[in-house]
Amino acid sequence: MTGESSTAESENPTASDGERVSEREAAADEADTRTKTSERDAEEGVTRRGFVRKAAGATAAAGAAGVVASDDAAAQTTTYRFGGEVAAWNGREPSDIADAENPTIELQAGQEYEFWFENIDGEPHNMTIQDGNGSAVVQSSLINSQGGTASVTFTATSQMSQYICTIHPTTMVGDLNVTGQVEEGGGGPSLRVLLLASAVLLAFVSPLLFALFLFSRRQGPGGGETTAG
Ligand SMILES: [Cu+2]
């Protein structure tokens, strides 16, 4: 019964859980797809929403900068570690969550995170990232044995709202507070970013244009046609 490795790594969960491994892989694949999709959506958002034609070049540049920034952020993975027991998720690392029960975790959208846990009490637990509707976005394998570990790795999006053990959803649940650049398709927030970028750009460009206009008027006769006379 207890035969199998209790200290299995995330890659190698307890052997009894063949199904769950494939479940987990499916979840991982899904998460992967989701990530790629949202990246693509973000790019499409940038190219499609060049609604301010005058500032098209500028908005494109601003959008590109945003994408680059999020790529940078995704390059490093931040790991959170928990002890899992029926009573709660016990924070371990980093130090600011040490010994906290179901601590609220601050995440940056677009950044990659790993949520790792060790089974403390031998009851079955999993680590699930769920959205505001209670749907799983990413889910680890189920760890049944004390000392067993598993983790999920994901790129944070604003849709993520909680980390939870779906076996003990009333006690093992903590909030995710996702801030920063939003990557999920939609376009609502990215539209806001583009608007802001356009406004800033126009603020810079319009005085210049005005100055040019004044300047060309002053030069008058040499330059353009004379309108009056
Ligand atoms: Cu649990």
- pLDDT one-digit tens code per residue, 91-109: 999 999 999 999 999 999 9
pLDDT of residue 60: 43
What interhelical angle do 188-219 and 56-74 show, nearest 10? Answer: 140
pLDDT of residue 190: 59
Tell me the CA–centroid distance for residue 121 and ligand 1, in Å: 9
Which of 2, 30, 26 is closest to 119 using CA atoms? 2
> Does the domain formed by 15-179 have CATH 2.60.40.420?
yes
Tell me the CA–centroid distance for residue 35 and ligand 1, in Å: 27
Tell me the CA–centroid distance for residue 189 and ligand 1, in Å: 35
The arithmetic mean of pLDDT across residues 114-137, rounded, is 98
Tell me the CA–centroid distance for residue 83 and ligand 1, in Å: 11
> What is the average pLDDT value for the chain, to the nearest integer?
72
Tell me the CA–centroid distance for residue 75 and ligand 1, in Å: 31
Tell me the CA–centroid distance for residue 6 and ligand 1, in Å: 16
pLDDT of residue 1: 42
Which has more confidence, 46 or 89? 89
% of the chain at pLDDT higher than 70: 56
Q: What is the spatial distance between Cα 116 and Cα 92, in angstroms, rounded to a whole number?
A: 10
Residue 175 has pLDDT above 50, yes or no: yes
The arithmetic mean of pLDDT across residues 166-182, rounded, is 93
Q: What is the spatial distance between Cα 103 and Cα 89, in angstroms, rounded to a whole number?
A: 8
Residue 201 has pLDDT above 90, yes or no: no
Q: Any bridge partners for residue 149, and if so which?
A: 118
The environment of the single-atom ion ligand 1, i.e. residues with CB closer than 5 A, is 125, 165, 167-168, 172
pLDDT of residue 4: 39
Tell me the CA–centroid distance for residue 87 and ligand 1, in Å: 8
Tell me the CA–centroid distance for residue 21 and ligand 1, in Å: 17
Inter-residue contact 7 to 147 (CB < 8 Å): yes
Tell me the CA–centroid distance for residue 71 and ligand 1, in Å: 33
Q: What is the spatial distance between Cα 105 and Cα 96, in angstroms, rounded to a whole number?
A: 10
pTM summary value? 0.51
- pLDDT one-digit tens code per residue, 26-69: 444 444 434 333 344 444 444 444 333 444 444 444 444 444 44
What are the residue ranges spanned by the domains of the chain?
15-179
Residue 156 has pLDDT above 90, yes or no: yes
% of the chain at pLDDT higher than 90: 45
pLDDT of residue 59: 41
The DSSP-derived string for 126-180 is: --EEEETTS-EEEE---B-STT-EEEEEEE--TTEEEEE-TTSTTTSEEEEEEES
